[in-house]
Amino acid sequence: MLSNSKFKIQNSKFIIAIIGTGAWGTTLAALATRSGHTVRLWSRRSGDSLRSRVENADIVLSAVPMKGVRAVVEQMQRVQISPKTIFVTATKGLRPESGSETQLPLLPSQLWQAAFPNHPVVVLSGPNLSKEIEQGLPAATVVANADLAIADIIQSALSSPSFRVYTNADGLGVELGGTLKNVIAIAIGTCDGLQLGTNAKAALVTRGLAEIIRIGTYWGAKPETFYGLSGLGDLLATCNSSLSRNYQVGYGLAQGKSLSEVLETLQGTAEGVNTTQVLIQLASQQHISMPISQQVSLLLNGKITPQAAVEALMLRDQKPEG
C-alpha cells in the first residue's frame, strides 16, 4: 500500500482503477494485469458504479478522450477518494473551451490537479501505438511529475519486460509533447497521402518539432524534454505509422475525402483535430509563428486544399533555420 502522507511504496502490487475502455485504456489494463496488479476498468457504458471501481485504489489512471475529461473529473469529485490515491492521466489533448489571452490552455493534468489539489497527478505519454503493444511488441513511455519519487511509484507499477517506463520531472513538457505532435501527424499524413516523398516528410517532421519546441518553451516547458520519448519519440512513431488516427486524418484528406468522412471511419478519437483549433487560437493571441499548424488548421476547416497547403509552406519567405 501507499503511505497517506508521502505516497511511499510499501508493496509492489497495486489496486489500479483505469477510467476509459478505449484502445489505450484496455491496453494499459492488460499490461497492469500481466504484472500482477489488481485492475478495475470503468467507462460510462460499463454499467458499474464509478465508486465501486475507484474505492481504495492506489492509482486512478484516466485514458478517456479529451472531450470527456471534464465530465469524468466532475463525476470523480462526487466520489470519496482515498487520501493515498495517485492520479495518472494518459490523455493527449487541449481543452476545447480554453484559450483566453491571459490563460494557458487547460491540459488534462491541469483539470485533474485543480479538482484534486491534495493528490499527485502524473502524466503518462510516449510513442505508444496500442495495437503494437497489444501484440507484445516492445515499447517505452514516460511518466512525469515534479516530484520524481511520485513518478517512481508509477514507473514501478507500469513497467514490464516489454514496456519500459522512464521518469521525468517536466510534466508540462511531457504532456505538451504528446499533445502537440498530433497536429504535425496530420500534416505528415497529408504529405504521404500526396506521395510527396521522403525529403518533404523529413522536412515537415523537423520543422514540426521546431514549432512544438517554440510554443512549448513559451508556455514554460523545458526544451530538452521535446527531444525525448514524449516529444521526438512520439512524433516519429505517430508520423510513420498508419495505425495513428491523426496520420489517418491527414492521409484521408489528401485522398480527397472530407473531414467528416475521414472521422466516420476512425476507430477512436483523433485528438489532433480539436488540438489544432485550440493551438492556433492561442498561438495567434500570443503572436507565436506556427506555419505548419496554421496550414493544418486551414485544411481541417476546408479553407485550403492539401496541395495548396504544401505550396503555401514552400513559398514562405526565406529565413535562417531555427
Domain ranges within the chain, ordered by starting residue? 15-169, 173-314
Q: Which of 8, 13, 92, 181 is catalytic?
A: 181
Q: What is the CB neighbour count within 10 angstroms for residue 243?
A: 14
pLDDT at 319: 63
pLDDT at 104: 55
Q: Which fold has domain 173-314?
A: N-(1-d-carboxylethyl)-l-norvaline Dehydrogenase; domain 2 (1.10.1040)
pLDDT at 6: 54
- Per the annotation, the verdict on 13 as an active-site residue is no
Q: Which long-range contacts (CB under 8 A, 24 or more apart) does 193-200 make?
A: 193/250, 193/251, 193/252, 193/253, 193/254, 193/255, 193/306, 194/254, 194/306, 194/307, 194/310, 196/310, 200/310
What does the pLDDT profile of the chain (322 residues) look like in tens digits?
344 445 665 567 999 999 999 999 999 999 999 999 999 999 988 888 999 999 999 999 999 999 999 999 999 999 999 999 999 999 999 987 655 544 555 899 999 999 999 999 999 999 999 999 999 999 999 999 999 999 999 999 999 999 999 999 999 999 999 999 999 999 999 999 999 999 999 999 999 999 999 999 999 999 999 999 999 999 999 988 889 999 999 999 999 999 999 999 998 899 999 999 999 998 998 899 999 999 999 999 999 999 999 888 876 656 666 6
Instruction: Supply the DSSP string of 143-168, one letter for each residue.
Output: EE-SSHHHHHHHHHHH-BTTEEEEEE
Cell match 511531457: residue?
174
pLDDT at 314: 74
Report the CATH number of the 15-169 domain.
3.40.50.720
pLDDT at 267: 86
